[in-house]
Chain A
Amino acid sequence: MKTYLSLLWIAAICLCVSGCSNYRELNQIGVIIGLGIDENENLEQPYKVTYQIINPSGLSQGSSSGGQGLPVINYTVTAKTLVEALKKASIVIPREHITSHLSLIIIGEKLARNDLSLLFDALDRGKQARTSIPVFIARDGTAEKLLGVIEPFEVTPVKSILSTSQNNQKMYGIVSNVQAYEVISMLLSEGKDLSLPGISINKPSQKAEEAGNLENTSPSAMQVKGLAMFRKGKLVRWLDGDEARSVQLVTSKVKSTPLVFPCGINGNITVTTTGIKSQIKTPIRNGQPFIHTDLNVVGEITETSCQKDLNNPKVLKELEKEVQKEITKTIRIAQKEKADIFGFGDSLSRTNPSYWRQHEQNWENLFSSAKVSMNVNVSIVNTGMRTNPYEVN
């Protein structure tokens, strides 16, 4: 009898507990997948926040309910703080919006140039969204505009940005994704400055926000464009193309990328790397830090457009020189901007903590005046199915 009574009690308690549960039906929630943060002209409400929400009826597969509208809907609100914006968004969003599926954050360039140091506090503090989501900068535009692109290939613009940047990281390596928690830790660190990938629209002139974009074989699409270099939380400069890739080489964030160097008069040799390993060293000589990078590149020759004897190992020397030149150029730019985006300071703090503790506050000046040295070692594992290029008569 006692057992039954206690079972009955448990059942009764279950019913009461349900009162405070977070029961939500899937068709009563709005899932935010993208967040865009821009600067607002009105200083009273400095943030202009765009939420990209999944529109399930735009996604309906099959004939059951018939698709209606676009797969995503953007809602933009202005507010004093980000959390206020989230709550305030309920004035336009018809369903309870949840941030648990937030998969990226785009920050407008203007806001980034101003300061984004404390932008991530709400994310870090909050319980719902994760901090393992990548952060991007909307280059030459606003996040609102970027999220508004009607995506021709992927289902949603958010998915497109994520997969484009991942694909780029895998195949070419201008940028690498930086998660929000990494952003926070870089902002905290004295020894490493922030660098974030930039995103833009490849054909801004076209009407990217209209359904007509889908009916174009060369539509407007998301484009990974450069690496934003920050100093103390402020965007100072964009690195493009090879410069941006050099950063990824130094931090060994890229594995496979084509390294092109000239040969002959108009020809080029392309080496596709299969493995890149770099080591940052910061020795102290005469009380001055040196910046040294050891770069080991393994690759294979995949294309030549000049006649050159590839049996000769001296060919590699030119390639090594070329890579070295490229990287040195990028480091010089960083030194000029006093933005240690490579993390030389971090390396120093690990190898020589006592020196670091003394000069931590002055690191940006020390970095900017440090001597740069480099050791690049390229080894070619194979030259493809042939050694020398075919000879054209």
Chain B
Amino acid sequence: MRQRYLLKSSNKEKTTDCSAAPLYNDVNKNIERLLNELGNSSDVSFRMVESPYQKTLKAAVIHLDGLADENIINENIMTPLIQWLKESNQVVTVKEIEEQIPQILTVSQLTIKKNWHEFMSAVLTGDTVILLNGSSKIFIGNTKKLQSRAVTEPTSQTVVRGPKDSFTENLRTNTSLIRARIQDSNLRLDSMKIGSVTQTDIGIMYIQGNADERIVEEIKERLKEIKVDGVLESNYIEEFIRDDRTTIFPLLLNTERPDAVVGNLLEGRIAIIVQGTPFVLIAPAIFSQFFQSPEDYYQNYYIASFLRILRFGSFFLSMYASAIYLALITHHQGLIPNTLMVSLMAQRERVPFPAIVEMVVMELAFEMLREAGIRMPRAIGPAVSIVGALILGQAAVEAGFVSAAVVIIVAISAISNFTLPSTSIVNAARGFRFILILISAFIGLYGILLMTLCIWLHISSLRSFGIPYFSPFAPFDFKEQKDTLVRFSLPSLLKKHQNK
């Protein structure tokens, strides 16, 4: 329900009928109005400062408790302000103060605005606003301090060798992690806010000269068109801007690793960073990228190539292993070698269910275990794996409810899932696995072939920001093969880029 509310397309203009209106000259009136609009929120904190010599000379310092950095306010705003008021014992006009304030305050960023709307948004983002009595100008000092986690090791995309830092929920931290790795003046960071209620900061990073300008423009264009109340995670953005909204395949790459983002930026892709999530989107993304781990470039390229082929193989296995097994034992027994046939028959002899039921139940049982493993409180985790391994695996086989071969096949297709560095492509494989199982139970290998054809046609028809999703396989590009299925050594990859 909450999601639906947030996703509700916000056609209605917010009640900002007077947002563009200028501010009152009277400080008290302004504060009154602010409190009114925020519904007397208890975290609005303001302090009135008066000149000891001049009663009319008043200033209000306003910020949202918790969002702004109290230390900066104390040292760089309040102290100099009060000091100055104390010292300037002459009568000064409002205009003079307006001119002097930028010299008094020692905050790193100070902007002067006149608009009520900007006043509101400054307060809400954690900046400190200084209002002067008798002036319609506002002074916004940058005091944002977002509560954020420290930079830790990545939790979902770990490597053995390579950088161990990962993004956090804080946009600034994330951009700084990227900037620290690219010290080049061509690195661009464009910002915008998405979400009519949440006003979430979005950063678009690319290296000018490397990235295709048209794609940058296209991404900005699509981002601007998003009409949504709130953005809580980068998937909110992904689902709006991808080329094909019905496909199960991920058309944007997401990663929580700064080095992965930097690598992609260098290759001319564009990163979309969303405030509030450690997962950064990378566009455009092609199919083979989902099989590449940053670690491929941190270790010997023979091993890296082997691992990539292994990942493609296990992607195939996780999709097809159970379907092919089912097709063979229910439709094409003639294709099974004699000795294997004999042992399969011996296993299945006393199983009371049809093979399809057996397979689907076991696959579902695994999906349940997997889901339970994520949802389960940490302390109960080991109990689940014991239940899963012992009861579902061993006991079911020993009781003769399922054959050992099915348990093995399900285990293979489950394990092969986890070799892939990207969970989003794994989810695509999981979806297709069940379709393939059903179709293979009906029409055997013929059905698997048909479904494979459908999947291939579908993949080949996809585009990610205009780039064919299945490239460089289809359309085939021989030169690009150096870094798809296998990885050539870095010097020879460099040659590729120079030749281009």
Contacts and interface: CB of A to CB of B under 8 A. Distances in A.
Query: Do chains A and B stick together as partners?
Result: yes
Interface stretch (A18-26, A117-125, A341-349): A18-26
A21 B341 CA distance: 21
A24 B346 contact: no
A60 to B, nearest CB: 5
B338 A21 contact: no
Contact of B333 (A31, A33, A57, A65): A31
A247 interface: no
Nearest to B444: A21
A103 B341 CA distance: 13
B324 to A, nearest CB: 15
A101 B348 contact: no
Contacts of A14: 439, 442-443, 447
B436 to A, nearest CB: 12
B443 to A, nearest CB: 5
B349 interface: yes
B112 interface: no
A128 B335 CA distance: 11
Given A18-B443, A64-B397, A33 B338 contact: yes
B41 to A, nearest CB: 48
B398 interface: yes
A54 B343 CA distance: 11
A100 B442 contact: no
A64 B352 CA distance: 13
Given A29-B333, A101-B334, A65 B400 contact: yes
Contacts of B354: 25
Contacts of B350: 27, 57, 60, 64-65
Interface string A106-128: 00000000000000000000001
Chain A: interface residue count, which band? 20 to 34
Contacts of B329: 26
B136 interface: no
Contacts of A56: 342, 345-346, 348-349
Given A59-B343, A63-B398, A64-B398, A24 B330 contact: yes
B252 interface: no
B343 A103 contact: no
A25 B357 CA distance: 12
Q: Which of A22, A24, A26, A60 has the most CB of B within 10 A?
A: A26
A382 to B, nearest CB: 38
Interface string B253-264: 000000000000
A171 to B, nearest CB: 22
A43 interface: no
B403 to A, nearest CB: 9
Contacts of A15: 442
A128 B334 contact: yes
Contact of B345 (A17, A23, A59, A128): A59
A17 B443 contact: yes
Interface in B310-353: 329-331, 333-334, 338, 341-351
B362 interface: no
B333 A60 contact: no
Interface string B231-275: 000000000000000000000000000000000000000000000
Given A26-B355, A59-B345, A17 B338 contact: no
Contacts of B399: 64
Nearest to B397: A64
A260 to B, nearest CB: 36
A60 B341 contact: no
A98 B343 contact: no
A23 B331 contact: yes
Nearest to A30: B345
Contacts of A33: 338
A217 interface: no
A163 to B, nearest CB: 11
Contact of A59 (B342, B444, B447): B342
A27 B333 contact: no
B301 to A, nearest CB: 43
A23 B398 contact: no
A27 B334 contact: no
A62 B349 CA distance: 13
Nearest to A158: B338
A61 B338 contact: no
Interface in A94-108: 98, 100-101, 103
A155 interface: yes
A100 B400 CA distance: 27
A24 B351 contact: no
Nearest to B441: A23
Contacts of B397: 64
Given A24-B330, A26-B344, A60 B442 contact: no
B331 A101 contact: no
Contacts of A100: 333-334
Interface string B45-61: 00000000000000000
B457 to A, nearest CB: 13
A64 B333 contact: no
Contacts of B442: 14-15, 17-18, 21, 23
Contacts of A59: 342-343, 345-346
A26 B447 contact: no
A103 B447 CA distance: 29
Interface string A41-62: 0000000000000101101111
Which 4 A-B residue pairs are closest in the complex by CB-CB distance?
A100-B334, A18-B442, A56-B349, A59-B346
8 contacts: A14-B447, A27-B348, A54-B345, A56-B349, A57-B349, A64-B350, A64-B399, A64-B400
Interface of B: 329-331, 333-334, 338, 341-351, 354-355, 397-400, 404, 439, 441-444, 447
